[in-house]
Amino acid sequence: MNKIKSICKLKKALALTAAVMLTLTAAGCADKGSSSSGNSADSGQADSSQGGDIHEVTGEVQPVVSDKVKDKDLDDSYGSPTAKITFGDSVQIEGSGVSESGGVVTVSQEGTYIFSGKSDNAQIVIAADEKADVKIVLDGAEITSTSGSAIYAQTADKVIVTLAPESSNSLTDGGNSEACIYAECDLTINGGGALLVTGGINDGIVTKDDLVLVDGDVAVNAVSTGIKGKDSVTLYGGKYSVSCGGDGLKSTTADDSEKGWVVVSGGEIAIESGSDGIQAETSLTFSGGKADITTDSALSDTGETAGKGLKATVSMCISGGEIAVSSVEHCLHCDGALTVDGGEITADAQQGDGISADGDVVINGGDITVTRGDEGIESKSSLTINGGNLDITASDDGMNTGGSDMATDASHDVSISGGNVRINAEGDGIDSNGDINISGGVVTVFGPTSNGDGPLDCGDMGGKIVISGGTVMAAGSVGMMQLPDETASQNSIYTTMLNAAQGDIITLADDEGNVIVTFTAEKQLAGMTVSSPEIKSGTTYHLYKGGKIESDENGEAFKIDTDGAQEIASGEVAQVNTSFGGSVQGGFGGGKFGGGFGGGQRPDGGQMPSGGQRPDGGRGGMGDMGGMNGTPPEMPDGERPVV
């Protein structure tokens, strides 16, 4: 017999908790349909094509691959400057292409300009030809402007701000400044030095065109938005920290389908914001690097509740990197479709969901941990899990599709074909307004303790639970418990008389002691459903509480030593749903009514009495069935339920 590796493979440890899940290799989707310029840096690779449709709202989302990182953006050299400018009691200029008046230094020609020294009343203005590339090198520069932006790029094709190696620099704005660094053209920041940007009036760093962040150790403090590239933002490398009252990092163009996107392919960014952490008006792609995001209402520049961690209007694709979000609202949200192909995501939502989308949610890989959220993962359309490791804790549903404002033309199915899923939910474990289809992977659900919800729920819209593969353990209360559909191709064993307390070890094994499923209860569990390809028709199985789990020399095959174990029930599997104690009469759909210990059939061949009335006064699933509250019926001393 092929033992159940699915519960116990990870680290080859004993499967004593259901949180132990199979380790899968995350399948990255970065660079689909893209090409490279051949330039590289420690933080990533310079891409030369955008690739993919950035406006998909259903199905899988293809990543945006930034085409904005060019050779000149990566070049942080400045060996032969056009001019050197030194601030002090007066402004000293050596070279050409630059002039000064009243503390305002104006760069008028293409070239490289090195700035150093300190001034409490100065400004750098770039007013060059519209096709000019201008490099501004900060090498120990401390500039405060009292009349506007510290650096204002008025005209040029591109301005590159280079931070000299080992240099420490600071910029502060004043007056009617829109941003401490404000550019009407493309803007790039590179170099190995440090920079403190203080946007004391409005924003920190802003360009009306494309923004490329290549390198540097940059800290931004801003009253409103921290960093904005109106047409696009590419975080390629460097280390950035943002503290602001508005959005942390964003792109805002909404009227052009090729703009308004944010791509994070490398580097590190830490954001504390009063609104959204990272916001893309069209599409957001996270393919590498690291983001640590906190949204905090106390920082808000408007006095409103703080926003989401990552937000996109059209589409979102996570294919690599590390994302940690602690947010007031949803940690990751997209108004369109959202796809996770890889990376590590940790989500802690105070009032919203861990991951949510109005369109389809597709998870192909990655490690996703939701430590807190109203709902762990929610789609107003459909949810598909093909791989990855998911660990979800939710105060409401662990996974949900549909809802009161769901898309009316979508399937609203939850489909799981692979991966490792662990859910601990106070509401429904998995709540689908369509069907629940499980064809592979490992699904472990610790559902509600109240009888108003169930471990698996698809009955609200008349859906059904179809299990054709994988290993499923769904446990919790039994008042709304639903069983797999009888047309399912894989057998299941269920009980409404589990009565497991937190910490109890529960094991399903065959006559030889081979473990099918074993787990440690994370809360009070009244009942459960177990489905596995190892549950064969005509074979007898035993359900134990306690005992010792043993592994062979490979750590993959498991046995139970029943010494000290309590056998809860045993019996032969004779149908798709076999009862190991109790029957199921709750819920609104998705599975058939059980028949006590005989398991799985309604009285009288499954037909309701004429007139639509239930037998015995219509008490149904919330009536006085033995075991519905998790307490087994009284048995003679020493006896146990047997199928």
What is the tens place of the pLDDT at every residue in 179-202?
999 999 999 999 999 999 999 999
Q: What is the pLDDT of residue 634?
A: 41
| 545 has pLDDT over 90 | yes
Tokens, residue 479: 């008042």
pLDDT higher at 385 or 38: 385
**Confidence tier at 26 by pLDDT (50, 70, 90):** very low
**Confidence tier at 584 by pLDDT (50, 70, 90):** confident
Domain boundaries, the chain: 1-24+366-643, 81-320
Dihedral sign from CA coordinates of 43, 49, 54, 58: negative
Average pLDDT for residues 559-588, to the nearest whole number? 86
Single-letter residue type at 174: G
- 261 burial (CB, 10 Å; 0-12 / 13-18 / 19+) is buried
| CB-CB contact of 519 with 6 (8 Å) | no
Average pLDDT for residues 332-342, to the nearest whole number? 97
Q: What is the pLDDT of residue 506?
A: 95
- CA-to-CA distance for 249 and 242, rounded, in angstroms? 8
Q: What is the pLDDT of residue 597?
A: 36
Q: What is the pLDDT of residue 57?
A: 56
DSSP per-residue codes, 251-315: E---S-TTSSEEEE-SSEEEEEESS-SEEESSEEEE-SSEEEEEE-GGG-SSSSPP--SEEESSE
- CA-to-CA distance for 590 and 481, rounded, in angstroms? 9
Q: What is the pLDDT of residue 82?
A: 98
Tokens, residue 575: 């149908």
Tokens, residue 482: 């639903």
Q: Work out the angle at residue 220's Cα, subtended by the Cα atoms of residues 219 and 221, and round it to the nearest 5 degrees.
A: 125
Q: What is the pLDDT of residue 176?
A: 93
- CA-to-CA distance for 260 and 315, rounded, in angstroms? 11
| 136 has pLDDT over 70 | yes
Burial string for 601-632 (b: 16+ CB within 10 Å, else e) reads: beeeeeeeeeeeeeeeeeeebeeebebbebeb
* Residues ≥6 apart with Cβ < 8 Å to 451: 477, 478, 479, 480, 586, 622, 628, 629
| 531 has pLDDT over 90 | yes
Closest of 32, 104, 46, 110 to residue 74, by C-alpha: 46
| 604 has pLDDT over 50 | no
**Confidence tier at 160 by pLDDT (50, 70, 90):** very high
- CA-to-CA distance for 632 and 566, rounded, in angstroms? 14
**Confidence tier at 635 by pLDDT (50, 70, 90):** very low
Percent with pLDDT over 70 in the chain: 79
| 599 has pLDDT over 80 | no
Percent with pLDDT over 90 in the chain: 72
Q: Where are the beta strands (DSSP E) in 313-360?
A: 315-327, 332-334, 337-349, 355-357
Q: What is the pLDDT of residue 631?
A: 39
Task: Indicate the range of 65-79, 203-217, 584-598, 624-638 predicted with least confidence.
Answer: 624-638
Average pLDDT for residues 592-618, to the nearest whole number? 35
| 418 has pLDDT over 80 | yes
- Give, in order, the Cα–Cα distances in Å from 357 to each of 37, 174, 383, 405: 34, 40, 10, 12
| CB-CB contact of 307 with 281 (8 Å) | no
When the pLDDT of each residue in the chain is averaged and rounded to a whole number, the result is 84
Tokens, residue 312: 């996109």
Average pLDDT for residues 385-408, to the nearest whole number? 87
Phi–psi pair at 297, nearest 5 degrees: -60, -25
- CA-to-CA distance for 473 and 19, rounded, in angstroms? 12
**Confidence tier at 58 by pLDDT (50, 70, 90):** low
| 81 has pLDDT over 90 | yes
- CA-to-CA distance for 281 and 259, rounded, in angstroms? 8
Tokens 């493309």 found at:
186
Q: What is the pLDDT of residue 615?
A: 34
Give the global pTM.
Answer: 0.83
Strand partners, 390: 368, 421
pLDDT digits (tens, 9 = 90+) for 246-271: 999 999 999 998 999 999 999 999 99
* Residues ≥6 apart with Cβ < 8 Å to 550: 558, 559, 560, 561
pLDDT higher at 23 or 605: 605
Q: What is the pLDDT of residue 485?
A: 94
Q: What is the pLDDT of residue 555?
A: 65
- CA-to-CA distance for 465 and 414, rounded, in angstroms? 10
- CA-to-CA distance for 266 and 45, rounded, in angstroms? 9
Q: Strand 540-545 to strand 505-510: parallel, antiparallel, or no bridges (unpaired)? A: antiparallel
| CB-CB contact of 602 with 595 (8 Å) | yes
- CA-to-CA distance for 471 and 139, rounded, in angstroms? 60
